[in-house]
Structure formats: structure tokens, C-alpha cells
Amino acid sequence: MSTDAMASTAITTDKTTPVGHLINGKVIIEGSRSQDVFNPATGEASKQVDLASRRTVEEAITAAQAAYPAWRNTPPIKRARVMFRFKELLEKNADRICEMIGEEHGKINHDAQGELQRGIENVEYACAAPELLKGEHSKNVGPNIDSWSEFQPLGVVAGITPFNFPAMVPLWMYPMALVCGNCFILKPSERDPSSTLFIAQLLQEAGLPDGVMNVVNGDKEAVDTLLDDDRIQAVSFVGSTPIAEYIYTTANANGKRCQALGGAKNHAILMPDADMDNAVNQLLGAAFGSSGERCMALSVAVAVGDATADALVSKMQSAMANLKVGAHTDNSNDFGPVITRQHQNKVVGYINSAEEQGAEIIVDGRNPQVSGYENGFFVGGTLIDKVTPEMQSYQEEIFGPVLQIIRVETMQEAMDLINDHEYGNGTCIFTRDGEAARYFSDNIKVGMVGINVPLPVPVAFHSFGGWKRSLFGDLHAYGPDAVRFYTKRKTVTQRWPSAGIREGALFSMPT
């Protein structure tokens, strides 16, 4: 099948032709089960996605297993060259990819461009495969004995990715897995599958051999097949904490290596000495960007002192008056709809519960009016003051454009609040005090920390991951940890005895 034909299959808007699966270099449509894919701005089903059965997922695994020996033995420099070409194709097709993201996720174009760029940065890091896989070497560790370690691929590995970053999160996983010599099965979200499939086709166009990268769209049946099949050596996951725990527990029970990134409740501490105008500007984007559907969204502002809280409420209320929510096609909008009608109702339910439990709704986004898109899944920016830790809206991840304010008396009280929460993904402090910032970064029990940086998402050559119930597994995503996750170390110790010399048997531990 030609590249043009594959691309047209991936991005069709004809409901009778579902978005399919990429298996062994070809787009496959099984046809036994499918579900609607919605445009969240209009509330209408724009297409369907084919849902893979166990048999289809097993076909993908078989294709990957068959491709593995040749790909494993492909020199790292040649694998890296595929990634260089892939990066160029991603940049060339950026507008098309972002349009697909907007149509199915609702993300405003400028936000989709940022998501794609962060994904491309992980491809750039993967281009360093020859350096990353060099291993270590020691000469003469004993008389005429040399020792070295090398990093060998695992085999066939899988990734299960969420709806909120259909381009970026898959690119956290498979570029590094592939340059390390593995073959990959991707199970993306069935809610916004087109951009993910199209990007995988660009990888084929970049020269990746058939079968090395496969995409299966599906639901729990597809996920459980990946977890149960003993040919899958490792699983990477990003999603909610309950599902992350299920993925991790099941994968481990089946003898697989697993990293499962879960949910978050990210706090920002505002100290009395904070630059309040800067903090407000930063909080606007961190809380409401991408409709708050980010695992690194700042959803709780912890104000130290009532004076700090009052100033924050006043300035946020004023700034939020200018927020624009709407369709992805208007780049002047700040953020778009949430992903489904069910999720819209869930977010509104959390706002209702906060109000019922005694919190004060300062800016109410429960009924935004978006002209021309009255049936879209919109929630406006919402600001809630006087939230307490006992409230449901505080305890659980809202995953919507809602910022809650908690008032405390001291920095230590604020830190205790963060450290006591079950999630530990990201956090931030706004302060001018270097001593306070250093104490905060040293003692906060959170995996990713910002100092006057509200979205401390690590760059591609570091690694991404939280603490506590935000991450199940020992290794974080992408960066240096990804090399370790997608390879296994082998250490070789070698000696070539001199001709004619024979040694007697040795029974003690060699030294």
C-alpha cells in the first residue's frame, strides 16, 4: 500500500471507514467492533475507530516478533538515521498533525503545536542512540582479563497511551524503544486515534522496516491481550492511577517489566513575597491550558497567609475575565473543550461538590456560552476559594479547567499538605526567597519540582516521573531512564590464555 493511500485511510472523515490499525506496514480494518470518535467542539461524531480483537493484537505481536531479529542486529547508527528522517517528516507535517489533534481532542492549535514540539524533542534525543548505547569497558580488570558491559534490547515491547497528548506521549516511548533495538506495539487512546496513527505512518515513510512499529486501536480487550501475551517483554503506560495500578500489577504478575504513570494533584505554593502578577500569569496557563487535561496541570494554589490569598483571588478573578474558551480553529482561544460529554459532566460535578461542601465559587465556568458551538463539551475556567483537604474536589484529580485555592498560615503547613497527598507528580513554589526555595526543593515529596516554574516538565534529555501513587515502577519515562527501561545490561568478562599455559583448577572465589 502506498504512503498516500495509507495516510488517506488514517485521516478519513467517512464514518463508514473507521480509523484502523497499522500492522506489518499496512493499515488493517478488522470490522467486527467500532466506536464513535467525536469532535469535542461540536459534540458530533466525526468518524469511527476500529476496535481490535485479541486476534488482531496477536497478529501485531507476531509481526513485531518476526521483525525483531533483523532490527535487533541493525547498527544503532542506522536506527538513528531513521529517527533523523522521522524528525524531518514530523516538522514537515506539523500543521496536518495539529489539525487532527484539534478535531478529535479539541486542543487549540497553538497548544497542539507545543505538544508536538515536545514530542519531537524526544525524537531528537533518540537520534543519539550510538552514544547512549555505547556501554562501558575496562581493560585488565585481572591479569590479561578485560570486562565490559553492553545494553541489549528486550524484544517486543508495548505502550498504552492516553487521550490528552495523542502525539507527545507516544513519542515519549517508541522512539527510544526502537533505537535501542526493540520492536513496538502501541495501543493509543481510542478517543483521538487519527494523529497517532498518521505519525506512525510517517515513521514507516522514514524507512522503518515493516513490523518494527505496529499500532492497534482498541479498548480493554486489546490492553489485556498485551498484558497477557508472554511475547511482550515490557509495558509503558500513562493514564489514571487506578488503571496504572492495574497495568503495573498485571504486567508484573505476568513477568513483564513495567512503568505505569498515573494521576496527579499538583500544588503551587504562593509565598507572601511572591511576584504576584507573574504568579497569576503563570497560573493561568498552568491551570487552564489544554482545559486542565494535563497530568502536570496546577490545580491547587496553596496561599500562605490570608493577605496572600486575598491578593491572589482578586488578581486571578480579574485576569480570568479575559480567558477565551472555544474551538481549536480559532488560535486566539486560550483553551478548548474537554474530551467527552461524560467528562464534562464529571468536571461540573466536582465544582458542584465543592460548592455543596462549603467552598466559594469565585469564577464559575459551569455554563460557558460558546457561540456556534452550543453542543460542544465546554467547561469554562473556574476559580474556587476556601477549599479544604476534606473536600472531594481536593482529594481527587479533576482533570479540567478548575483552580482551587487553599489557605494556610505557614510554608511548612503548605508543604505538609502536599506531602500528605497520595499523589506526588509535580509541584511549584512562587517566592523571591532562595533559602525557602532550596528548603522546598530538598524536602518536598514530589517527583518534579518547579521554582517559579509552574509546569516543571523535564526536557527530553532528563526523565519524567512522579512519586507516590503518581508512578508505579522504578524507572521514569523518556530521557536516560528510557534507555535503561528498554534495554537489559549484559556484562562480559574475557581472557585469552597464552598458548601452552595450563592452569590448575581453582575452587575459591576469583579475585
Amino acid at 84: F
The widest CA-to-CA distance across the chain, in whole angstroms, is 91
Q: How far apart (Å, rounded) are the C-alpha atoms in residues 221 and 72?
A: 29
Closest CA to 166 of 228, 221, 215, 220: 215
3-class secondary-structure state, position 102: helix
Residues in contact with 21: Cβ distance below 8 Å, sequence separation at least 6, in sequence order: 27, 28, 29, 30, 50, 52, 56, 60, 197, 214, 215, 216, 217
Helices and strands: H and E segment counts in the chain? 17, 22
Element (H, E) at 87: helix 76-92
Query: What sign does the CA torsion over 227, 266, 195, 132 have?
Result: negative
In the sheet with 487-495, reading across from the earlier edge strand, the strands are 136-142, 145-153, 487-495
Residue 295 near residue 342, CB atoms below 8 Å: no
Residue 496 near residue 156, CB atoms below 8 Å: no
Helical spans, DSSP H, in 321-433: 341-356, 392-395, 411-420
Q: How far apart (Å, rounded) are the C-alpha atoms in residues 449 and 466?
A: 10
Please state the φ and ψ torsions of residue 265, each to the nearest 5 degrees: -145, 90
Residue 426 near residue 464, CB atoms below 8 Å: no
3-class secondary-structure state, position 137: strand
Q: How far apart (Å, rounded) are the C-alpha atoms in residues 80 and 162?
A: 26
Closest CA to 262 of 43, 423, 383: 423
Residue 268 near residue 285, CB atoms below 8 Å: no
| Cell representation of residue 203 | 515513521
| Cell representation of residue 246 | 492495574
- What is the C-alpha radius of gyration for the chain, rounded to an integer number of angstroms? 25
Sort strands 426-430 and 448-451 into parallel, antiparallel or unpaired.
parallel
3-class secondary-structure state, position 419: helix
Torsion over CA of 289, 482, 95 and 189, rounded to 10 degrees? -70
Residue with cell 490528552: 164
Choose the catalytic residue: 98, 127, 295, 428.
295
* Residue 127 known to be catalytic: no
Q: How far apart (Å, rounded) are the C-alpha atoms in residues 379 and 374?
A: 12
Specify which residues 333 forms β-bridges with. none
Q: Catalytic residues, which ones?
A: 295
